[in-house]
Amino acid sequence: INKDSFCDIELGDNKKSDMAIMFSDIRSFTEMSEAMTPKESFFFLNSFLKEIGPIIRKHKGFIDNFIGDATLSVFPGKVTDAVLCAIHIQKHMYFFNNKRKEKLLKPIAIGIGIHWAELIIGTIGEKYRMAGTVISSGVNLSSRLENLTKFYKAKILVSATVINKLDKSLDIKYRFLGNISLQGISNKVLIYEILDCYLEEDFHKRVMTK
């Protein structure tokens, strides 16, 4: 928001920009948390976020908000940064789950939705409680895409806007899933699944059903 220091930030400061919005969520976390104490839930969430936080920063993104077990991140550079980040996170989940398996813990899965949209980043709140956040209808869309990953049994779903802005030289593989009506979204949305995050056998099965 064009401030030289945190000390210069005031309530209501904001800046309009186009960014990639990535929403990720842990599958069946409510069921998992019922079998854990509150302390164990906190430990689990922090151990998980410790894994994905560095990946998001590596791909030039930053975490805007933690919403329970969900994470909202934005990428101010290119949409490809967000897609490569999502692929990296999903591939890292294989490593993360192997560590859980060694501790006799159940594997976990996450869904990721990505959209590119105009947003406003700035500060909201009141005199005694101020926070930085992003405001955009694109946040709702990226959340809806993430929620659809459960229906399609997919890892990463993105909008057509994301596909159109991808760096084609990287040859990221994807497949078209449909033109879908989403709750809270006025127009239908073209949905695509990113395929590069799958292991070889599953990757080829999905490529064959494009």
pTM higher than the cut 0.85: yes
Give pLDDT, residue 192: 96
> Is residue 5 scored above 60 in pLDDT?
no
DSSP β-bridge partners for residue 68: none
Comparing 8-12, 136-140, 182-186, the range with the smallest average pLDDT is 8-12
Comparing 2-16, 24-38, 81-95, the range with the smallest average pLDDT is 2-16
Q: What average pLDDT is seen over the chain? A: 86
> Is residue 9 scored above 80 in pLDDT?
no
> Each residue of 66-94: pLDDT tens digit?
888 889 999 998 999 999 999 999 999 99
Give pLDDT, residue 181: 85
Sign of the dihedral through C-alpha 87, 132, 141, 69 = positive
Distant-in-sequence, close-in-space partners of 78: CB < 8 Å, separation ≥ 6: 20, 165, 167
